[in-house]
């Protein structure tokens, strides 16, 4: 770790942190990245309005890709720091400013190697918009952003404040869950409370939906499997003295087993049908597929472990996947991929706050180790198997 690289990551991370932007609105962030690429003389393209795909040619036919997400969250920062977010209710509360900075440093290293004729392989650098909402990875793929690159593997990381600095957690196959949203829409018939028997109450129907959805995990899924069937918001009714004629409920399903996901969806469909039968209230459930599970290809495992060890990380193998969604999952559609979680927890400095919280913070020096990991992967790629 050199002083110049430490100054580099501090400067770029703090600039990005102070100027956060929401999904698909990362125009200033993209300008910062593009200015950096142009200064270095690294070629890039912009398949979407925000984000960028950079490319450097190496000394082999192999092409590998690295991804960083660049968007922030609609959260008001509570850290009292010099580089606090300059925007109300927008904050890099998920560490994407760090992900982006680590990749910028890696781009700089790779350009120096390329200039000396020592870049071992072709490298694609993905500065991806809209990980938090909108599935920016999927948008890039559908836009043909990678059609010109014969990518053989894609690597990515995410900071993890629940794990100590110096540790990295990995898991072969599924490491994060699928994320599917569901919404129930109820339509009944209103009447005055004095003649309530003439109405078809969505309040009664919604109560039934609430009760039944709450029991799916208990009665219909394997108790040894980790799943979440979450009720996020619900409402019914129009006035204090009328029978509710409309009802609504929404939530999210998190699972890493596609069969479990199908069980949940089937049960919800049956629940919607039962509302009509029991209460005469029309009820429809709609699903919005979010992110699939993030799948780590076991063929890349040993390379990842060796590269992490050489970057002075302690590798921890998880027993079960994390139950949150991550749109890095889409990259397995274009090539084998591997995703790792880099610990940033430091109790002495009170950096213990979770992802998506208003006090997330971390030591920028960890970003240099991430760049080390990326560089180790680059030099080791193709040497095994």
Q: Residue 385 falls within a domain, yes or no?
A: no
pLDDT band at 385; cut points 50, 70, 90: very low
> Minimal CA–CA distance to 51: which of 151, 146, 171, 177?
146
Tell which of 244, 265, 291 closes a domain: 291
User: Is residue 96 a known part of a binding site?
Assistant: yes
Same domain, 15 and 26: yes
Same domain, 8 and 152: yes
Rounded to an integer, what distance in angstroms lies between the CA atom of residue 166 and that of residue 175? Answer: 19
Using an 8 Å Cβ cutoff, are 158 and 99 in contact?
yes
pLDDT band at 193; cut points 50, 70, 90: confident
For residue 118, give the CATH number of its domain. Answer: 3.40.630.10
pLDDT in tens, 291-311: 889 999 999 999 999 999 999
Tell which of 291, 325, 359 closes a domain: 291
Using an 8 Å Cβ cutoff, are 103 and 127 in contact?
yes
User: Is residue 158 a known part of a binding site?
Assistant: yes
What DSSP element (H or E) covers 180? strand 178-187
Burial 9-36 (b: 16+ CB within 10 A, else e): bbebbbebbbbbbbbbbbeebbebbbeb
Tell which of 274, 291, 308 closes a domain: 291
For residue 216, give the CATH number of its domain. Answer: 3.30.70.360
pLDDT in tens, 157-182: 999 999 999 999 999 999 999 989 99
Domains held by the chain: number:
2
Same domain, 319 and 287: no
The residue range of the domain holding 199 is 178-291
Tokens of residue 154, six digits: 């894609």
pLDDT band at 1; cut points 50, 70, 90: low
pLDDT of amino acid 118: 98
Q: Residue 47 falls within a domain, yes or no?
A: yes
User: Is residue 250 a known part of a binding site?
Assistant: no
Average pLDDT over residues 320-332: 92
Q: Residue 39 falls within a domain, yes or no?
A: yes
> Minimal CA–CA distance to 272: which of 291, 285, 254, 288?
285
Rounded to an integer, what distance in angstroms lies between the CA atom of residue 237 and that of residue 245? Answer: 6
């Amino acid at each position: 770790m050199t002083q110049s690289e430490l100054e580099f990551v501090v400067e770029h991370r703090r600039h990005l942190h102070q100027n956060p932007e929401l999904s698909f609105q990362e125009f200033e962030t993209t300008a910062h990245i593009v200015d950096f690429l142009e200064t270095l003389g690294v070629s890039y393209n912009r398949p979407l309005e925000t984000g960028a795909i950079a490319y450097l040619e190496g000394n082999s036919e192999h092409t590998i890709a690295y991804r960083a997400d660049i968007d922030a969250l609609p959260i008001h920062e509570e850290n009292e720091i010099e580089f606090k977010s300059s925007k109300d209710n927008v904050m890099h509360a998920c560490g994407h400013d760090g992900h982006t900075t680590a990749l910028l440093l890696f781009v700089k290293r790779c350009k120096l190697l390329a200039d000396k004729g020592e870049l071992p392989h072709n490298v694609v650098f993905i500065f991806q918009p809209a990980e938090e909402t909108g599935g920016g990875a999927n948008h890039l793929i559908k836009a043909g952003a990678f059609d010109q690159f014969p990518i053989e593997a894609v690597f990515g990381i995410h900071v993890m404040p629940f794990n100590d600095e110096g540790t990295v957690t990995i898991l072969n196959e599924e490491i994060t869950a699928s994320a599917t949203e569901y919404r129930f829409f109820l339509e009944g018939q209103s009447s005055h409370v004095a003649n309530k028997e003439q109405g078809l109450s969505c309040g009664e129907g919604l109560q039934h939906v609430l009760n039944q959805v709450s029991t799916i995990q208990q009665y219909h899924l394997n108790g040894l499997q980790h799943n979440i069937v979450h009720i996020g918001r619900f409402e019914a009714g129009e006035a204090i003295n009328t029978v509710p004629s409309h009802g609504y409920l929404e939530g999210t399903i998190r699972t890493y087993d596609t069969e479990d996901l199908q069980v949940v969806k089937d049960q919800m469909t049956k629940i919607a049908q039962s509302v009509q039968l029991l209460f005469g209230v029309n009820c429809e459930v709609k699903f919005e597929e979010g992110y699939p599970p993030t799948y780590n290809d076991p063929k890349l495992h040993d390379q990842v472990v060796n590269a992490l060890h050489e970057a002075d990380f302690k590798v921890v193998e998880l027993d079960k996947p994390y139950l949150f969604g991550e749109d890095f999952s889409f990259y397995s559609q274009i090539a084998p991929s591997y995703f790792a979680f880099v610990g940033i927890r430091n109790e002495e400095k009170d950096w213990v706050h979770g992802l998506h919280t208003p006090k997330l913070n971390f030591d920028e020096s960890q970003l240099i180790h991430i760049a080390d990991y990326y560089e180790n992967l680059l030099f080791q790629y193709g040497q095994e198997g």
